[in-house]
Amino acid sequence: MLVNTRDMLKRAKEEKYAICQFNINNLEWTRFILEECEINKAPVILGVSYGASKYMGGFNTVFNMVEALIKDLNITIPVALHLDHGVDFQSCKEAIDVGFTSVMIDASKNPLNKNIEITKKVVDYAKTFDVSVEAEIGHIGGEEDGITGNILYAEVEDCISLVKETNIDSLAPALGSVHGIYKGEPNLEFNRMLEIKEKTNIPLVLHGASGIPESDIQKAINRGIAKININTELQIGWSTEVRSFLNSNPNVYDPRLIIKAGESVFKNIVKEKLILTGSANRF
């Protein structure tokens, strides 16, 4: 069932576990994620970046593909279809208009007052369609859709203002995580995370969760993280397996066999994350 993220994140926050957002890049990955989450009875968020949506054909294609897979695969768990890092009002509006149930507006490159203004505009529009909204503050580092940036830690007071002024449903404060592969050890600001949780009282989101040690993920969940985002670990796991399959099977050319070669490794990563975050068996 397609739903927004409000209830799943509220419950995760109250019961101290985290919902997984797995990013999708094609039909097969979407099917792998839905099937594995259904087996594990875990509510899930399918994250789609603007670049990934363009790659797949556009928001409309993605929405219809996800809706059809839920139906054809008899998926019963709650599934949210979420725009990841919507860069402006227009891209969030386009996703909402075709049926996405959740959007992230990432206006974090702007000064606080502008971030608030853009985020509020998205929230006002989204609320009419019962779509949930996530916003970012500070700057999560690393590479996303080909854009590279340095970490800029979120300030507690800015988080409070953004939440109060906009009425968002969840907040992604930059606290040391990066998108993509970590150079060195991740260094998360756990004290600030807890302070932001206590002062804003909304579900917090950890971007760039690939490569963060399990103990840090658990610490983060205890300090208010109710959603973690995973993309790179799935990409590395799947592509490593497919590369090795192609090397050992140079005569295979059926794309179904090639893509499928990464299925069980991919699904294992999904399962590990569901167990780690405590979101398995919540439905």
Residues that bind ligand 13P (CB under 6 A): 23, 47, 84-85, 179-180, 207-210, 229-233
Residue 148 CB neighbour total at 10 angstroms: 11
Distance CA 38, CA 197 (A): 30
Residue 222 CB neighbour total at 10 angstroms: 13
CB 45 within 8 A of CB 33: no
Nearer to ligand 13P by C-beta: 153 or 160? Answer: 153
Distance CA 208, CA 144 (A): 10
- Least distance in angstroms from the C-beta of 70 to ligand 13P: 22
CB 168 within 8 A of CB 121: no
Nearer to ligand 13P by C-beta: 25 or 166? Answer: 25
Q: What are 133's strand-pairing partners? A: 103
Nearer to ligand 13P by C-beta: 85 or 282? Answer: 85
3-state secondary structure of 28: helix
- Least distance in angstroms from the C-beta of 273 to ligand 13P: 10
- Least distance in angstroms from the C-beta of 168 to ligand 13P: 16
Is 84 tagged catalytic? yes
Nearer to ligand 13P by C-beta: 47 or 237? Answer: 47
- Least distance in angstroms from the C-beta of 198 to ligand 13P: 24
Q: Which of 7, 72, 84, 158 is catalytic?
A: 84
User: What residues act catalytically?
Assistant: 84
